[in-house]
Amino acid sequence: MRDGDVIGEGFHAELGDLHAERAALADCRARGEDPAGATMYVTLEPCAHQGRQPPCTEAILEAGIGRVVIASDDPSEKAAGRGPGMLRDGEVKVEFAAGEEATAARLLNQPFRKHARTGLPLVTLKLAMSLDGQTTTAEGESPWISGTKSQELVHRWRAESDAIAVGIGTVLADDPLLTVRTPEASRQPIRVVFDRQARLPLDSQLLQTLDQSPVLVVVSQGADPSRLSALREASAEIVVADSLDAALSDLGRRGITSLFLEGGRTLASAFLSSDAVDESRTFIAPILLGQGASRAGGAVGGTTPEEASATAGGGGSPAATGPVRRSALSHRTEQAGEDVLITARYKEW
């Protein structure tokens, strides 16, 4: 900015593309403006290391930017203050934002920040339930409890995530695609199935659409070798993990920074019991399904934590560690078409 006017702007569109700072400088020059002496506002401190793109600090110094206002720090080991230090050494005035702007910037970059600090993906749990607490419909009915607007939001969230996860129970019941089905989708997330006994059917829609995105199957050490061989021959990728922590660590090593957890009840209970959920997004639909409607036997909270742990250990997902009760750091309620959406954040990175 110069004299209160925006002379260039940019963002990091996708992995491997220009970083936000270089994109903003390119936009500035495309407008016929000279960035020298201007103030640059960034959500994350400029990088000072060579990756898929050259260091942004070099571009800022070469452009003659006079002042840089940074909304949040970069907690990764290879960054962590190097960029601001180099800018100050180059006689650029560096300031860090505070208050609401800093908080908003940190929340915007939660997947990156968690992965940088822990090596694990940010886990967002999506739930949908009826007014009487049911999370699944009767056999033969549409698996969707929520309405059209909520379904549109789910596809947008899928598009924003590196990976989508479900339990084998959901796959056996619904045979889902787990793809983003919107015209503007530029990529498909990796699809992850927690399937301790390697029961994923070879004719499932997931394995029939590997040309759209990979499928990772998380299995236990005791999974049937013949089933594992068949899944590998079908081009599924196998992750062997006997705990949720081990599974998430493997996903993190693969570069997955955000995991969108869609179903079902057993897998959700395992993640909740292991305190592995960072944020939840719960749709409440204005319908009554009745106790007999649910194929899975009720809502996520329909079993005790001990039962959820035992089911997770012997069924579709790695064993949970035990019950955890956690209050949200923040939450908000909004309308999503006919449904009510409650978004709760439990951790901040």
Q: Is residue 21 annotated as part of the catalytic site, yes or no? A: yes
d(CA 216, CA 210): 10
d(CA 39, CA 60): 10
d(CA 25, CA 238): 43
Instruction: Decide if 72 contacts 117 (C-beta within 8 A).
Output: no
d(CA 8, CA 92): 18
| CA distance readout (Å), 96 to 8, 11, 149, 207 | 20, 19, 38, 48
Tokens representing 48? 């000072």
Where are the extended beta strands (E) located within 112-183?
122-129, 163-167
d(CA 55, CA 85): 13
- Please report where in the chains the tokens 């640059």 appear, as a residue: 40
Instruction: Decide if 170 contacts 184 (C-beta within 8 A).
Output: no
Q: Which of 21, 45, 262, 279 is catalytic?
A: 21
In the chain, the amino acid numbered 144 is W
Instruction: Decide if 231 contacts 195 (C-beta within 8 A).
Output: no
Q: Calculate the CA dihedral of residues 88, 100, 278, 273 and round it to 10 degrees.
A: 120
Please name the helix (run of DSSP H) or strand (run of DSSP E) that holds residue 340, with its range, or none: strand 339-345
* CB neighbour list of residue 216: distance below 8 Å, 6 or more residues apart: 163, 190, 191, 192, 193, 236, 237, 238, 239, 251
Please name the helix (run of DSSP H) or strand (run of DSSP E) that holds residue 348, with its range, or none: none
Peptide bond into 51 cis (omega under 30): no
Give catalytic residue positions.
21
